[in-house]
Amino acid sequence: MREALKSSLILVCLAVLLAAGCRPPRGQNYTVRAEVVELPSDANGHLFVLHHEAVDGFVTRDGKVEGMDSMTMPFLVAKNIPLTEIRPGDKVEVLLHVDWQAADRAVEIIGLRKHSPDLHLEFRAARPPGKP
């Protein structure tokens, strides 16, 4: 009975959101730890380079869980994310939003938190779930 009530409440909430013109967010979020390599140098100040840990459950554009190895790469950063306190060498945790259906900004950092400088990061190959 309790599960039926819970399911009904979820359906009602979704119906209200859809009726109001809201859609559940597309894409997937990943929490990723990294070291800042380079601060933004683009005109808008929203692209910076991170050396990130592996993302084991990363889903590729074709929908496969392949994982993403640790690497150094540039990321777009949402305009509302302040970078004023961030410096090269800082250890951070980012919330990476990936929406392969987006017309632009398919991969974007939507959250950022600075970590302690003594945080140990593990740079390794990805280990996707279910793969040896």
pLDDT above 90 (res 115): yes
Q: Distance between CA 30 and CA 111 in Å, rounded? A: 10
**Contact call for residues 88 and 49 (beta carbons, < 8 A):** no
CATH 1.20.1250.20 for domain 26-114, yes or no, is no
Q: What number is the average pLDDT over the span 46-57?
A: 91
Where along the chain do its domains lie?
A: 26-114
Q: Select from 30, 34, 33 the least CA-distant residue to 89.
A: 34
Q: What is the pLDDT of residues 71-106, one digit of tens each?
A: 999 999 998 888 889 999 999 999 999 999 988 889
Higher pLDDT, 36 or 24: 36
Specify the pLDDT at position 17. Answer: 42
- What secondary structure, in 3-state letters, does 84-104 show? CCCCCCCEEEEEEEECCCCCC
